[in-house]
Amino acid sequence: MDRRDAQKPRRFKHVFLDAEGTLYVPKGKRLLWEFWANPSPEAAVEFFELDRGVAETLKTLRGQVDTLCLVSRNSWPILSAILQKYGIEKSFDAIILNGDKGKKIERYLAKHGLSKDESVMVGDMPALDLFPVLRAGIDAVLVDRWYNRMVRAERIKGLSELPAWLRIADIADSMGKNKVRIASLDEFEPQGDQDRAPSRVAATKRLIAVPGA
């Protein structure tokens, strides 16, 4: 991490990432039940692929945060096979497996003397990655997927947006708590334009800080 960046106030210093559905996804339009009907490490490396920009994003995060951990309920043989195939197994300070993710992260933070207030979990499954973590007093962000859109939560469209989201969280925090919130330019698109062809504006969406309610 650049010394100048290390001196800047940071809202979140410790990031915890889910694996399946966050780092890697089924290839093409395959459905998860196809894999879990007969799972194995060999099948996993053929069935899953890294989501867009994940490898590059992990390198960026390593220079942006103090702690980067993987928190998964997958079995170690399957998880390890995927991490090794894509060369990202050494990207993490720790790999935390099984159990309630909120409690697991809470114990990890306590063991290493780290603050809950400076920590955030990123995942795709509300029941596993969001609700248990929020109950533990730790912030959480959902990776936007079709199967979690009924849940109201802070969102990013993919892990590749996380570095920008973290920087905006820094800005929002420096402006004063409860004075701003994190929003997406999606909220500011003109109504009734859903059917228009993708525009240059739609292709350059960015998260922004706006006045809070």
Q: Would you give per-residue pLDDT tens digits along the chain (213 residues)?
A: 444 455 567 899 999 999 999 999 999 989 999 999 999 999 999 999 999 999 999 999 999 999 999 999 999 999 999 999 999 999 999 999 999 999 999 999 999 999 999 999 999 999 999 999 999 999 999 999 999 999 999 999 999 999 999 999 998 888 765 555 556 555 544 554 444 444 333 333 445 444 454
**DSSP conformational letter for 20:** B
**190 vs 162: CA distance, rounded Å:** 26
Going by C-alpha positions, the residue among 130, 160, 147 that lies closest to residue 51 is 160
Q: Select the CATH number that applies to the domain covering 3-156 from these four: 3.40.30.10, 3.40.50.1000, 2.40.170.20, 3.40.640.10.
A: 3.40.50.1000
Q: What is the pLDDT of residue 202?
A: 38
- Cβ count near 121 (within 10 Å): 27
Q: What is the pLDDT of residue 204?
A: 39
Q: What is the pLDDT of residue 9?
A: 73
Q: What is the pLDDT of residue 203?
A: 38
Q: What is the pLDDT of residue 175?
A: 79
Going by C-alpha positions, the residue among 12, 10, 42 that lies closest to residue 122 is 12
